[in-house]
Chain A
């Protein structure tokens, strides 16, 4: 039985989230005047609703570890070694094509350490946490993008997705056909909120 105060109700972000709150948040490659360590990448993709219609004006937020897989958060046992040039959080808005883009770093594998019961010592594959907010969504949609070469890789969160095609949709695809700004390696990751090629979303 779960006692305690009931959590406040979520509500939609609506159409008018201020551009000033997004501007500059798409670039995670530096923090407080320091360049982030590791491989800088362009993580970009399109967000679609049913019928593969692009969603304009969706807000995408990400949270990720640094290039060594360390989170800028004291719960991470390796927190002291976290990259001072990397903040780990970003926010972007989709355009009329449904496209968002982040300049960030390729995340490293996460060593969870002893803080988590059940998951002690387990390693997580390089990944980025993603949440999506838009008109029509009363709550955020939560998913994770992985950077593994194949959907066969083991990860305690990815392993919750049983369907192999759905797993494959959670992998960012290296896109060699185009260069990002400043010739950054491009990783493409589309999000489909509803439809045949729907992105797997987690219970939140």
Chain B
């Protein structure tokens, strides 16, 4: 496919001489999901009762695994075809693209991204998925890529379906794609889920609505792109990610 193939980074390329000048602050709570969500199974039982402990950031926390593609095999950028000539998975063919950057807006090159998602019927390939929806033999819903020099990623897949949370009497998860991103340090190892715009189930989702700040909540939703109506064979969505970390600024005299 025509998605740009990211250049393979090596550790020296990622070795920013000023890496020690990146500072990390704790996540700002108003930009994040609440930790405790009433009605969310196990939310109470699993969240610590004691306050989180402040610690200095040492070499150990400021480093992290680089060039993970040496350890974790990458996949094709087209999840909708298991092989180039295989039948396309059932569902709405979509393209998802975006950039990974730090809090300064600087692109983060060489970040490994893992994605996983349900098929168009809302079924995961996973032993824990007991929802009685059909498996699509032409879809596994797994992808693994590396961001290019501009911090960009791009992949094609099918739009995932909604599915019920089987331990809940009412909760249906709206369509979403899971993202796992390895930033340049242990401090910005990042996991999230991104939702689709205009989905009625977005209104009742316990997770999406656990971000109280509306602007922050919208950072969990794909944006449609100008090509959403211009491309003939897929719908296009976009989502940029900001990983924690910014350059130290000199203190004012």
Residues in chain A within 8 A of chain B (CB atoms) = 2, 4-21, 25, 31-32, 49-51, 53, 55, 57, 61, 63, 65, 71-76, 87-89, 110, 112-113, 115-116, 118-119, 122, 124, 127, 129, 131, 133-141, 144, 156-157, 160-161, 193-195, 198-204
Contacts and interface: CB of A to CB of B under 8 A. Distances in A.
Contacts of A134: 42, 46
Contact of A6 (B31, B60, B140, B193): B31
A127 B60 contact: yes
A74 B241 contact: no
B42 to A, nearest CB: 3
A115 B94 CA distance: 45
For the residues of A in contact with B, the DSSP-based class is loop
Contacts of A21: 72, 114, 116, 142, 144, 180
Contact of A202 (B40, B52, B71): B52
A198 B50 contact: yes
Interface of B: 11-12, 14-15, 19-20, 25-28, 31-35, 37, 40-50, 52-66, 68, 70-72, 101-105, 114, 116, 118, 124-129, 140-142, 144, 178, 180, 186, 189-193, 207, 210-211, 216-217, 219-220, 241-244, 246
B33 A61 contact: no
**Which residue of B15, B46, B50 has the most chain A CB atoms within 10 A of its CB atom?**
B46
A13 B124 CA distance: 14
Contacts of A139: 27, 32-33, 35
Given A18-B126, A194-B45, A7 B31 contact: yes
A161 B51 CA distance: 11
Contact of A136 (B40, B49, B103): B40
Q: Is the interface of B mostly helix, strand, loop or mixed?
A: loop
Given A4-B246, A129-B186, 13 more contacts: A9-B32, A9-B192, A9-B217, A10-B27, A11-B192, A15-B126, A21-B72, A75-B59, A136-B41, A137-B35, A200-B50, A200-B53, A202-B53
Contacts of B49: 194-195, 198
B45 A49 contact: yes
19 contacts: A7-B27, A9-B31, A10-B32, A10-B33, A14-B193, A16-B124, A16-B129, A25-B71, A57-B128, A63-B64, A65-B60, A71-B59, A74-B11, A74-B12, A74-B19, A110-B59, A124-B60, A157-B58, A201-B53
B220 A18 contact: no
A135 to B, nearest CB: 6
Contacts of A161: 53
A112 B58 contact: yes
B33 A18 contact: no
Contacts of B124: 16
A40 to B, nearest CB: 18
Contact of B59 (A17, A55, A76, A195): A76
